[in-house]
Amino acid sequence: MFFGNSGAEANEGAFKVARRTGRPTILALEGGFHGRTLGALALTHKPAYREPFEPLPGGVVHLPFGDLGALEAALVGDAGQHVAALVVEAVQGEGGVRPLPPGYLAAARRLTTAAGALLVVDEVQTGVGRTGAWFAHTRHGVVPDVVTLAKGLGGGVPIGAVVTLGERASTLLGAGQHGSTFGGNPVSAAAALATLHVIERDDLLRQATEVGAHLVRGVEGLGHPLVQGVRGEGLLLGIQATRPVAAQVVVAALEAGVVMNAVAPEVVRLAPPLVLTHQQADEFLAVLPHALDVATAPTDGRDD
């Protein structure tokens, strides 16, 4: 385990672990987001994030999201012998809150093992209880070679971590090959320990699961014509709209005291604290119809 300051720094560490295999290609998925430092940005797919800083570190190939055929083509036979690692999120956050299709991560584990490549799971957004499990990948029954963490690990205090599992990944990066000025500092480490303690003591994995399911039922139960559906896990949810008005919904909700964000023109992301109660969820559900109505209300065309 290596401690750093952020998710981007954790993914830089994972990038360097992959480079140490000596193989030239790293696979990532379309729609993925892994950070804004240069190595992490090379793994990130969104052109708006990448293009201002190109050329980025090379050797990264982005595969279509959830496409098993493309994954097999990249990892089977001669192609697979050049692959250092596959980097994925179990649930893409910036990509529109998209869980990997059933069976994809298990297939990824099988194919990377057969090719001698590493499986790296980015749990920066999904880890430490966000999805109602300690780690989102555990629901898929796989053990990755590398897991990256940050965000929820410190409960608001900056900390990131690269966790290697198994002998091979753990021996690739040697002493002096990666570093961080404030990595593993006592304040952040104490905050992370306290966060883990509170999640376990207060059964927040169960709470995230139950309150998340309550939110899904509540949003879908509104019957609002703008809501096409809700996807995600635990307290990482995306409201899929029928029109590209996510930005307007976010502004209207903020004016009513609710913080959300638009991760796609038609998708609003919810990522409330794990301590969110049913009552607080109901307060949100009472505000949401108004925000949806305001976002779709006709304007008179005047520039006031």
The separation between the first and the last C-alpha atoms of the chain, rounded to the nearest angstrom, is 56
**What is the rounded distance in angstroms from the CA atom of residue 4 to the CA atom of residue 11?**
10
Contact criterion met (CB below 8 Å) for 147 and 10: no
| In contact, 191 and 157? CB cutoff 8 Å | yes
Please give the structure tokens belonging to residue 299: 């304007």
Tokens 């012998």 belong to residue: 81
Catalytic residues: 33, 122, 151
Say what the alpha-carbon torsion angle 51, 52, 55, 60 is, to the nearest 10 degrees.
Answer: -40
Task: Classify strands 60-63 and 236-241 as parallel, antiparallel or unpaired.
Answer: unpaired
Which residues, in sequence order, are bridge partners of residue 229? 240
Burial of residue 82 (CB within 10 Å: 0-12, 13-18, 19+) is: middle
Instruction: Compute CA distances 283 → 19, 223, 245, 253, 278, whole Å.
Output: 48, 17, 22, 12, 9
Task: With both helix axes pointing from N to C terminus, report the angle between 104-115 and 68-75 in degrees, rounded to the nearest 10.
Answer: 10
Element (H or E) spanning 287, and its range?
helix 278-296
Could you give the CA distance from residue 256 to residue 4 in angstroms, rounded to a whole number? 36
